[in-house]
Amino acid sequence: MKKVQFFGKYTGMILLTALLAIGCSKDNDTPALPEEQLSPEDLETVMESSEYTGAVDAVLTDIFTDEGNSGKSAKSNECYQVEYTETGYMVTFNNCVLNGTDNANGTLEMTFDRTTNSKSFTAIFTDFYVGEIKVNGRRTYTMIDHEDQSKFCFSVTSEMSVVLEDGSEITEEGTRTLTLTLGESFETTTIEISGEWTVTADGHTYSVTIPEGIVGNLGCEYFVSGAMTLDKNGLIVVVDFGDGECDNIATLIYPNGATQEIELD
């Protein structure tokens, strides 16, 4: 499984996968592991999908933060050009290096919801390249107001396909909500993720559901609490990330109650 990664100048642009908070009980019986099992590679595939599709967030973050510009204005610089439209603007990149990403090439369209007090925009990618990765599809970002000033919330709805350098394709579709809570330190600054989305890769379909959320913090490379429900081609497994301790251990819980510990990469 890929480690938690934070793209761009704002931690708020974190786009990773994660997965459903659920408790587990123990009894004296130890059910046998089923013949069909979830592998660490399956979890890595789900996590990598977020890494690849989230690579475009660094591109968007650069546009939004470069010299203080907001989502309703943009500027050209030495490596990208902006053309304004009635609904937003088109940005054409020419081998740009943005926020530490691989070189970005191609054109993306930014459209804004012009309704009163809306805080939503959509980025549309057509044969857009980040390094050797080709991205097509759209991501809609919506800010969510929160009465707690230490919390920053937004949702991301994706319909994305990514073609890797070796020609393999990963698709991702669905919505996730992210809540960043500022603390006094890295360890107390947390990111919580909830939502539902589906990933297809290597001939498999993975469905993720997170009604309550899982939690990570900036002081740990792994998720530290919560669990996820992952459906791989009909095999439904709960992945429990623990109770707050920073470690690389997750517990798989199968439908018959059998459990299995795995190490995360």
Least confident of 34-43, 47-56, 119-128, 153-162: 47-56
Residue 195 inside a domain? The answer is yes
Q: What is the pLDDT at residue 100? A: 62
Confidence (pLDDT) at 29: 60
For the segment 61-67, the average pLDDT, to the nearest whole number, is 59
pLDDT at 264: 83
Residue 25 lies in a domain: yes
Helix (H, G, I), strand (E, B) or coil at 94: strand
Residue 192 exposure: Cα atoms within 13 Å on the Cβ side: 16
Residue 260 binned pLDDT confidence (cut-offs 50, 70, 90):
very high
Query: Given this model, what pLDDT does residue 14 score?
Result: 34
**Count of structural domains within the chain:** 1
Domain extent, residue 95, equals: 11-263
DSSP 181-204: E--SSTTT-EEEEEEEEEEEETTE
Give 123's contacts (C-beta < 8 A, 6+ positions apart).
Answer: 56, 60, 108, 109, 110, 138, 139, 140, 141
Mean pLDDT of 236-250: 91
Q: Answer yes or no: is 67 within a domain.
A: yes
Task: Report pLDDT for 68.
Answer: 40
| 247 confidence band (pLDDT: 50, 70, 90) | very high
Residue range 178-184: mean pLDDT, rounded: 91
* Average pLDDT score over the chain: 79
Q: What is the pLDDT of residue 174?
A: 95
Report yes or no on 1 lying in a domain.
Answer: no
User: With left for phi above 0 and alpha for psi between -120 and 50, is residue 56 left, alpha or beta?
Assistant: alpha
Residues contacting 61, CB < 8 A, separation 6+? 7, 8, 9, 10, 13, 98, 99
In the predicted structure, residue 253 carries a pLDDT above the cut 60: yes
Rounded Cα–Cα distance for residues 188 and 106 (Å)? 39
More confident site: 149 or 174: 174
Give a yes or no: residue 203 inside a domain.
Answer: yes
Task: Kindly state whether residue 2 falls inside one of the protein's structural domains.
Answer: no
Q: Which residue has the higher pLDDT, 77 or 150?
A: 150
Q: Model confidence over 73-106: pLDDT tens digits? A: 445 566 788 888 888 888 888 887 765 667 889 8
**Domain assignment present for 3:** no
The verdict on residue 134 lying in a domain is yes
What is the Cα–Cα distance from 223 to 214, expressed in whole angstroms?
Answer: 7
Model pLDDT for residues 5-49, shown as the tens digit of each residue = 433 333 333 332 222 222 333 344 678 888 888 888 888 888 777
